[in-house]
Amino acid sequence: MYRILQTLLITLCLLVSAHVTGPRAADDLGALVSALGTAKLAELDDRIGALAKSGDPRVIPVLEALGEGNLYARKTDGGVFLTTEKGASLVLVDPLTGSAIGEAPKGELQKIKVNNAVRRAVRSALGGLTLFSADTGARLKAAQSMRQTPNADALEAIEAALAAEKDATVRKTLDEARAVTLLVSDRPDDDKRAAIKTLAESGGREALGVLTSALSSADASLKPDIEAALQRIEQAQVFWNAGQNVWYGLSLGSVLLLAAIGLAITFGVMGIINMAHGEMVMLGAYTTFLVQDVIRTSYPALFDWSLAIALPLAFLVTGVIGLAIERSVIRFLYGRPLETLLATWGISLILQQAVRSIFGPTNREVGNPSWMAGAFDVGGLTITWNRLWIIVFALAVFAALLFLLKRTSMGLRMRAVTQNRRMASSMGIRTPFVDALTFALGSGIAGMAGVALSQIDNVSPNLGQGYIIDSFMVVVFGGVGNLWGTLVGAFSLGILNKFLEPYAGAVLGKILVLVLIILFIQKKPRGLFALKGRAVEA
Amino acid sequence: MITSFLLKSLDRSIIAVVAILLGLAIAVPALNLLTAPDHPLHVPTYLVSLFGKYLTYALLALALDLVWGFCGILSLGHAAFFALGGYAMGMYLMRQIGARGSYGNPLLPDFMVFLNWKELPWFWQGFDMFWFAALMVVLVPGLLAFVFGWFAFRSRVNGVYLSIITQAMTYALLLAFFRNDMGFGGNNGLTDFKDILGFNIQAAGTRAALFAASALTLAICLVLTTAIVRSKYGKVLVAVRDAESRTRFLGYRVEHIKLFAFTVSAMMAGIAGALYVPQVGIINPGEFEPGNSIEVVIWTAVGGRGTLIGPIVGAILVNGGKSIFTAAFPEFWLFALGGLFVLVTLFLPKGVVGTASAYLARRKAHRRAADAERARDTLVAEPMAAE
C-alpha cells in the first residue's frame, strides 16, 4: 500500500515536471514505454536499458511498477499503464504523466511478464537512475547495488555520477562500483588494470567474488594482475578474520569479566565459595525485566532509559539479598570454605525455585534500548552496539571496583580484613560489618552484571547456572584475590575460546579450554597472578 | 591374613549395617517374588527398582565419604565417575540388544545407524563381553581418577581449588558426552536395553537379582572401606585430612596416600553407576551435571561425613524424601533441598549419624562417669562406715 502511494505521489510530482520538459521529450519516452508492452521477455532487457539511458527521473515509477508486476499492456491498442487492483478490475494510470485513465476489467489487459533476470535488470537500471538522487542515502544505496550486481551498460551513468559526487562515502562506493563494472565491460586493459588495483585496495568479500569470476573470463595479459589482487585481498581477509576473532574474544571476555567480577570479591577476596553468585546475576536480569515491564505499561517514553534505571535498582536488590545471606548464613561459616560451598548451593536452589515459582520457568523478554541496537563497520569488522557497550560497561565496573578497593578507606578496611582478620580487628576495624558490606558489594556487582547480560542472554531462572562454572574458572585462572588477574583471565579465556572455535567447533573448543585450565592449575596452583606471602596459607 | 585384617576392623555398628544389608538382599527379592501381589507384605517390582537405585546412590555417597570424610578432598566430580561406570555398563547393554533394535542392525546400536556410521568405533569393541565391560566399569573411572589425581596431588592442588577443577572435569565431560561425534549416543544417551547376562532386564526376577546385587555390593564395599579406614593407612589418611603439612614433614608421601583413596573411591563410584544403569534403564549426559556431584555431597553431609554408615543413611533419607516430595509437592522440592543444604551445614555439621553417635558417646561417658562417681562414693562411704 505504501509503495503504491509513493508511486502515485512521485507520478503526481512528475506530472508537473512533464509540463516543463515539454511534449517532445514526452513523446520519445512514450515510445520507449509503449515498446515495453510489445517486447518479448528476451527483449525486455534492452528496452529497460534504453529507458535507463534516457536518465529521465520519470522512468523510475515505470521501472518500479515493472519490477513489481504492476505494469500492464492494453490488449486492444498496446497502451502501457501503471495499475492498482480494485476488485475484479484495474485502476489505470498513465505511466509518464501520472493522470488517471479510469478503470478496466482485468480481461482487457495483459500483464507485462517479468522473470528474475528482468527484475535484476530493473534493479540495476533503477540503481543507475537513483545515482543522481538528491538524497545521499539513496545515492549510497544505489552505488552499493551497482557494486553488487555489475552491469556494463551502467558504466557511463556511474562515471557521470562519480564526476558529480561530493560525499566521500558515496564516492568511495561509487569508485568501487565503477571498478567492478569496468571489469565486465569492454574497456581497454589498462583501465581494467587500474580497476583491479582499486578493488584490491578496497578488499572485502564482494571484491573477491568479482575478481574470481573475472579471472575465468579475463585475457591472459590481465590474469597475473588479478591473481596478485586476489592474493592481496585474501591476506587482508585473514587479517580481518583474526581481528574479528579478537573482537568476539573481547566480547566473550567482557561477559566473563562481568560474570566473574562479583565473584572475584566474594570468592577471591573473602574466600567464600559463593555458588549462589550465578543467581545474583539472574536476579539482576529479572530486575531489568521488571523495570522494563513497568516502563512499558506506564511510561513508554522512558524505555531508552530502562537500563540506566535498572542498574542502581539491581545493585540495591541483589546487594540487600546478599547482605541478608551473609548475616543469616555465611557469617557462621567463615574459615570453612567447603561448607560455604554447600550452604550457598542450597541458597542458589532456593532462589532459582523462588524465581521459577514467581515468574514461571520460561524465558522472559527483555528488550534492547535503541542505543544498543544495530551495528557499524570498522574496516572488515562488523561491530554490534550491544557488545561494544557491554565491553565498555565491564571495564567501567572493573575500574570503579578497583578504585573502591585501592583508593577508599572502605576498600582499605576490606583488604585489611581479608589479609589478616585478627590484626585488623585489633586495629579497631569492625570486621563483621566489613564482611557484610563486602559480600553485599560482591552480590550487588553480580546484579549489575545481570542487567548487562539480560541484553544478550535469555532471562530465565537458569540464567545464572550457565555462568557459575565459567566465573569460577576465570577467578581461579586469574589468581584468587587479585582483580587484575580476573581481568586478564577473563579476556585471555575469551579470546582463547574464540580462536579455538573455528578449528574445533564451539563445544569442543570449550572442552579444550576447560582441559587447558585444569592443566594450567597443575602448573600454577594459585593462578596467573598469585598472591604471595602469609595471606596465601591462611 | 586378609580375613583377620577385615574382621579386626568390624565393630558392632558396622556388623549391624552389613547384616541389615544382607537381610535386605534376601528379604526384599523374596517378598517381591514369592508373595502374591495382594499379600500385605508384598513389595511391588517398581519399589524394588527404586530401593535398588537408592542403594547405588548410597554406594556413591560411601565412595565420596572415603575421600571427603577421611581425606578432606571435597570432590565435585564423583558424579562423573559414577556416570562413566554407568556408560561402561550401558555400552554392554547396548551391545546385548543386537539385531532387536529398531534398525535391526546386528552389530551397530541404533543411534550409530541413525548417524550413518558404518562400523563400530574402536572403543566399543569388546563391550559385548560382560567380563570386559565389568572390568571397564572399574578401570575407566579408576584410570581417570588416577591420572587426574596424580597431576593434581603432585602439584599440591588442594582444598577449594581441587573442588573447582574436579567440577571443571565433570563439566568438560558433560559437554563432551553431549556431542554426537563422541559415539555415546549424544543427548539421548544409551537406553532401550533388553537383557543383561541373557535375562530380560524388565523381568521381576532380574530386577530382584539386581537389587540383591546392589545390596551385596554395598555391604562388601562398606566392609572394605571400614578395613581401609581402620588400617594403619587409614590413620595416615586421617592425619593428611587434619594436618597435611605435618604429615608430610613426618615423612609420609601425602600425594600417594591421597591418590590411593581417590582412585579406590572413583572405582567404587563406577561400580555404583554400573549397578544404577540397568535398574533405571537409561544413562545420558545429564548424569555428568555438576549439580549432581554437589547433591552427592549433601547426602554425605546429611548422613554425617567421616562416619561410614552416615553416607548410606543420608543417601537413602534424602532420596527417599525426594521421591515423596516430588510426588506430593513438586514445587517445593528444591526449596526443601536448598533448605536442607543450609540447615545441615549450619546446625548439623556432623550429620545425623555423627550427631547421634556423639550423643550416644556422651551419654555413655556420662554414665561411666556417674558409675565411677558412685563407686568412689561407696569407696569413700565404706571406710566411714567402718569407723
Please indicate whether, in this complex, the C-beta atoms of B164 and A349 are within 8 angstroms of each other: no
- From A119, A146, A178, the end of a domain falls on A119
| Closest-CA residue of chain B to A271 | B160
Cβ-Cβ contacts under 8 Å, A508 against chain B: 176, 179
Same-domain check for residues A194 and A291? no
Same-domain check for residues A17 and A72? yes
Q: Compute the half-sphere exposure of residue A285: CA atoms within 13 Å on the CB side of its CA.
A: 32
C-alpha cell at A304: 531508552
Same-domain check for residues A422 and A531? yes
Same-domain check for residues A108 and A147? no
Cβ-Cβ contacts under 8 Å, A347 against chain B: 338, 341-342
Please indicate whether, in this complex, the C-beta atoms of B160 and A508 are within 8 angstroms of each other: no
Same-domain check for residues A200 and A171? yes
d(CA B366, CA A447): 52
Same-domain check for residues A276 and A381? yes
Of A404, A365, A403, A372, give the one whose Cα is nearest residue A390: A372
Same-domain check for residues A328 and A380? yes
d(CA A37, CA A35): 5
- Integer CA distances (angstroms), B303 to A287, B81, B312, in order: 38, 21, 7
Cβ-Cβ contacts under 8 Å, A469 against chain B: 167-168, 171, 290
| Closest-CA residue of chain B to A474 | B164
Cβ-Cβ contacts under 8 Å, B169 against chain A: 514, 518
- Number of Cβ pairs < 8 A linking chain A and chain B: 121
pLDDT of residue B61: 97
CA B199 to chain centre: 25
Instruction: Let me know if A519 is exposed, middle or buried by CB neighbors in 10 A (0-12, 13-18, 19+).
Output: exposed
Does A529 fall in a domain?
yes
Does A125 fall in a domain?
no
Please indicate whether, in this complex, the C-beta atoms of A333 and B179 are within 8 angstroms of each other: no
pLDDT tens, residue order, chain A (538 aa): 555 555 555 555 554 444 444 444 556 777 777 777 777 777 777 777 777 766 666 777 777 777 777 788 877 777 778 787 777 777 787 777 777 777 777 777 777 777 777 777 777 777 667 777 777 777 777 777 777 777 776 777 777 777 777 777 788 777 877 877 777 777 777 777 777 777 777 766 667 777 777 777 667 777 787 788 888 888 888 888 888 888 889 988 998 998 898 888 888 778 888 899 999 999 999 999 999 999 988 888 888 888 899 999 999 999 999 999 999 999 898 878 888 888 999 999 999 999 999 998 888 888 888 888 888 877 777 888 888 999 999 999 999 999 998 999 999 998 888 878 888 899 999 989 998 999 999 999 999 999 999 988 889 998 888 888 889 889 888 887 788 999 999 999 999 988 888 888 888 888 899 999 888 888 887 788 876 655 444 3
- From A119, A154, A183, the end of a domain falls on A119
pLDDT of residue A488: 93
Please indicate whether, in this complex, the C-beta atoms of B342 and A343 are within 8 angstroms of each other: yes
pLDDT of residue B275: 96
Q: Which residues, at least 6 apart from B77, have a Cβ–Cβ distance to it below 8 Å? A: B148, B166, B167, B169, B170, B293
Q: What is the CATH number of the domain that holds A473?
A: 1.10.3470
Same-domain check for residues A251 and A103? no
pLDDT, tens only, B265-276: 999 999 999 999
- From A72, A93, A119, the end of a domain falls on A119
pLDDT of residue B1: 52
Please indicate whether, in this complex, the C-beta atoms of A346 and B331 are within 8 angstroms of each other: no
Does A226 fall in a domain?
no
Q: Which residues, at least 6 apart from B55, have a Cβ–Cβ distance to it below 8 Å? A: B211, B214, B215, B218, B275, B316
Rounded to the nearest angstrom, the minimum Cα separation between B151 and chain A is 6
Same-domain check for residues A78 and A137? no
A332 touches chain B (CB under 8 A): yes
Rounded to the nearest angstrom, the minimum Cα separation between B155 and chain A is 6
Q: What is the mean pLDDT of residues B356-360?
A: 86
A260 touches chain B (CB under 8 A): no
pLDDT of residue A18: 45
- Helical pair A223-263 and A431-453, crossing angle rounded to 10 deg: 150
Q: Domain total for chain A?
A: 3
| Closest-CA residue of chain A to B173 | A511
pLDDT of residue A23: 44
C-alpha cell at A508: 569442543
pTM of the model: 0.77
Structural domain containing residue A212: 131-221
Query: How many residues are given for chain A?
Result: 538
Residue A80 bridge partners (DSSP): A73
A 490-519 → B contacts, CB under 8 A: 507-508, 510-511, 514-515, 517-519
What is the share, in percent, of chain B residues with pLDDT greater than 90? 54
Q: Which residues, at least 6 apart from B70, have a Cβ–Cβ distance to it below 8 Å? A: B229, B234, B237, B238, B241, B261, B306
Report chain B residues touching chain A, CB-CB < 8 A: 74, 148, 151-152, 154-157, 159-161, 163-165, 167-169, 171-172, 175-176, 178-179, 290-291, 294, 297-298, 301, 331-332, 334-335, 337-342, 344-346, 349
d(CA A266, CA A274): 7
Same-domain check for residues A202 and A306? no
d(CA B336, CA B339): 5
Does A233 fall in a domain?
no
Q: What is the mean pLDDT of residues B240-264?
A: 94
φ, ψ (nearest 5 deg) of residue B10: -80, 125
- Helical pair A465-478 and A223-263, crossing angle rounded to 10 deg: 90
Please indicate whether, in this complex, the C-beta atoms of A350 and B156 are within 8 angstroms of each other: no
Does A463 fall in a domain?
yes
**How high does pLDDT run on average in chain B?**
89
CB A258 within 8 A of CB A250: no
Q: DSSP state, A264?
A: I
Please indicate whether, in this complex, the C-beta atoms of B338 and A348 are within 8 angstroms of each other: yes
A525 touches chain B (CB under 8 A): yes
Higher pLDDT, B133 or A155: B133
Higher pLDDT, B214 or B364: B214
pLDDT, tens only, B108-132: 888 888 888 888 889 999 898 999 9
CA A347 to chain centre: 37
Please indicate whether, in this complex, the C-beta atoms of A469 and B290 are within 8 angstroms of each other: yes
Instruction: Look at residue B9 and tell me whether its pLDDT is greater than 50.
Output: yes
pLDDT of residue A21: 43
Does A227 fall in a domain?
no
Does A138 fall in a domain?
yes
pLDDT of residue A61: 75
Same-domain check for residues A146 and A105? no
Same-domain check for residues A180 and A250? no
**Phi-psi category of residue A458: left, alpha or beta, with phi > 0 → left and psi -120 to 50 → alpha:** beta
Q: Mutate which of A477, A511, A512 to test chain B, going by most B C-beta atoms within 10 A?
A: A511
Does A232 fall in a domain?
no
A 274-303 → B contacts, CB under 8 A: 275
